[in-house]
Amino acid sequence: MAYQRPGDTFRIVCELPCPIEETYLFARYAGFLAVKDDLVALTGVDVPERMVPVDIHLASDSLCGNPGPLAGASFMNWTGLEPGPGANVCLWDLEASLPTAPHVPRPLTVANALARENQVLLAHEYAHVVFFLRQELSHEWFVRAVSYRVGGQTESLCDSMNALHAPTAWNLCQQNGLDYPQLAESMRRIDALWTSGQGVEELFANVPKTTSVYQLRRILDSLAGSDTFEALVGAGELRPNQCGDAGRFTPSGGTLSLYGGRVEWTLPVGAVTAPLQVEPGSWRTGKVVPEAWNAFMWAHNYAFLPSGFAFQRDVRLTVRYEPSLMPEGADASTLTLYWLPVSTPAQAVPGAEVDTVANTVSATVSRLGRYVIAPR
């Protein structure tokens, strides 16, 4: 059973026999409809056409299952290998109305369904769908921040609610002066890149390539008039290699520091014959490592473009590692640097050196490409 007003992008759905009274379903629809325009003003764009309709499930059913520890969830439908049509938001209102310690039950009343403060979770999950297909990550910090604004809990990204629960958004406000209007504009620009085929990540069949986090970062840089890298990575919600970084090599040589000092290239004079712009590649390709090392490997996986570019003289690459991401009991002295060619197995870089005091791995290399720190 589905309830939808003609032209709306969402439906309230309930599998038959529906365990929720129809008056509550109508009120839930009206409650979200009352705030949806405010939400879309904050996200800058509505959900992609291929994600319509967004089906909102209010009880456990064959698609959403039981909530377990979740308060809400969102996911897209699939047709074979293609995403869509449509997406789903699971809210489990029925289960939330039951007295299950330590949670305080929320009765299924019309007043609760209409209350603006009770639209926060739905706004949160719907905002996730706004990111689907357009952006390679559906950013938790972003959707939390906009949902708090919808619910009337914040006025600015600099508010304490965001400091506690959406710290990346708070950082962007405190360090770069960005606020809700700039977040909306960033998504309008992301949508323009995506719809014009300027995304870079091929994640789905028969849809435009998805935009990268690095593309979003550069949009935020432009809107702020300053570098947002530290704000984006400082809260720990995004990895440095996901945010990307870029720089320029010159024939005069010297040291180029990237990723907030986590990566350094040291070039002798003449290593390049003309200025060369170095851009980040995708972070989505890695090296096979023991399962316990996966988090470490993905965090220390840097791709440098143009891939395969050969230096005229050998250069020094130093990558800093984060010891806290190593498996318990692991020995840092076993780490080394790998170069990952596009179509052949990873190759250990000869002569790589580990400094367990500075937490770095360094090696002399002859080309650009993907480099990963991992155990031998």
Q: Is 92 within 8 Å of 49 (Cβ atoms)?
A: no
- Tell me how far apart the alpha carbons of residues 209 and 195 are, in angstroms, rounded to a whole number: 9
Residues in the chain: 376
**Is residue 74 within 8 Å of residue 129, measured between CB atoms?**
yes
343 to 289, 305, 372: CA distances (angstroms):
18, 16, 16
Average pLDDT over residues 211-236: 98
pLDDT of 374 > 90? The answer is yes
The CATH class of 245-375 is: mainly beta
pLDDT confidence of residue 344 = 85
Residue 100's pLDDT is what? 75
Q: Reduced to 3 states, what is the DSSP secondary structure of residue 294? A: helix
Contact 330, 297 (CB under 8 A): no
Q: What's the pTM?
A: 0.94
The letter for the amino acid at 44 is: G
Look at residue 48 and tell me whether its pLDDT is greater than 80.
yes
Gap between the Cα atoms of 323 and 295, Å rounded = 11
Encode pLDDT of 205-220 as tens digits. 999 999 999 999 999 9
Strand partners, 278: 247
Q: Three-state SS for 28?
A: helix
- On whether the CB atoms of residues 229 and 260 are closer than 8 A, the answer is yes
Q: What backbone torsions phi and psi does residue 325 show, to the nearest 5 degrees?
A: -90, -5
pLDDT for 104 equals 85
pLDDT tier at 102, thresholds 50, 70, 90: confident
200 in the Ramachandran plot: left (φ > 0), alpha (ψ -120 to 50) or beta?
alpha
Q: How far apart are CA 171 and CA 162, in angstroms?
A: 9
Q: Return the sign of the alpha-carbon dihedral for residues 279, 313, 346, 293.
A: negative
Q: Tokens 């520890």: give the residue.
A: 69
pLDDT over 80 at 348, yes or no: yes
What is the tens place of the pLDDT at every residue in 316-330?
A: 999 999 999 999 999
Q: What is the mean pLDDT of the chain?
A: 97
> pLDDT tens for residues 58-72?
999 999 999 988 999
Query: Phi and psi for 26 in degrees, rounded to 5?
Result: -65, -40
> In this predicted structure, what is the pLDDT of residue 343?
83
Domain ranges in the chain are: 2-132, 153-238, 245-375
What is the reported pLDDT for 173? Answer: 99
Q: CA Rg, the chain, in Å?
A: 24
